[in-house]
């Protein structure tokens, strides 16, 4: 069975309360539950972690090698600032899909650059919670089509 590591970056624990005009009213717990349901349909085992701390996310990514076949990540604000997370993803060389609830390219100019995108197999943004579900589906398809 495929194993995927889902990582949520900073402030995503505040979903449902934080800027609902941008991020909606859905909580992170609801997103995680929908991801688990989708993973069950896709016959994927998930491990899920949320952290507001860059180093914890870096350590988690480094520890993913050999345990998971892929990573689904919403790096939050670290998308635009973290060379460390980018380098960790590059170092473990696991297929990674970057997701965002909002369309980062329709927001403030500083959000238009992603350090993660160049080391990810793809990026999905702007589709709300569907970004996560589509990201998981795309990662599953990619992993099943790739030679082991």
- Residue pair 20/70 in contact (Cβ under 8 Å)? The answer is no
pLDDT in tens, 21-66: 766 779 999 999 999 999 999 999 999 999 999 999 999 999 999 9
pLDDT tens digits for 106-147?
A: 877 878 899 999 999 999 999 999 999 999 999 999 999 987
pLDDT for 148 equals 60
Determine contact, residues 124/131, Cβ cutoff 8 Å: yes
Structure tokens given for 37: 């349901």
Residue 126: strand, helix, or coil? coil
The angle subtended at Cα 139 by Cα 8 and Cα 21, nearest 5°, is 40
Q: Is residue 71 within 8 Å of 7, Cβ to Cβ?
A: yes
Altogether, the residues listed in the chain come to a count of 148
Which CATH number belongs to the domain containing residue 85 in this structure?
A: 3.40.50.9100
Given this model, what pLDDT does residue 111 score?
Answer: 80
Q: How many domains does the chain have?
A: 1
Catalytic (active-site) positions: 23, 100
> Residue 83's domain spans which residues?
2-145
């Amino acid at each position: 069975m495929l194993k995927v590591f889902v990582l949520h970056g900073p402030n995503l624990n505040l979903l449902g309360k934080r800027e609902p005009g941008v991020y909606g009213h859905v909580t992170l717990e609801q997103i995680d539950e929908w991801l688990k349901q989708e993973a069950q349909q896709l016959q994927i085992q998930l491990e899920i972690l949320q952290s507001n701390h860059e180093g914890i996310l870096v350590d988690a990514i480094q520890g993913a090698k050999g345990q998971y076949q892929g990573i689904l990540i919403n790096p939050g604000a670290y998308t635009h600032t973290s060379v460390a997370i980018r380098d960790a993803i590059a170092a473990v060389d696991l297929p990674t899909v970057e997701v965002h609830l909002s369309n980062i390219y329709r927001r403030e100019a500083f959000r238009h650059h992603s350090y993660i995108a160049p080391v990810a197999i793809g990026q999905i943004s702007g589709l709300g919670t569907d970004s996560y579900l589509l990201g998981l589906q795309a990662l599953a398809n990619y992993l099943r089509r790739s030679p082991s």
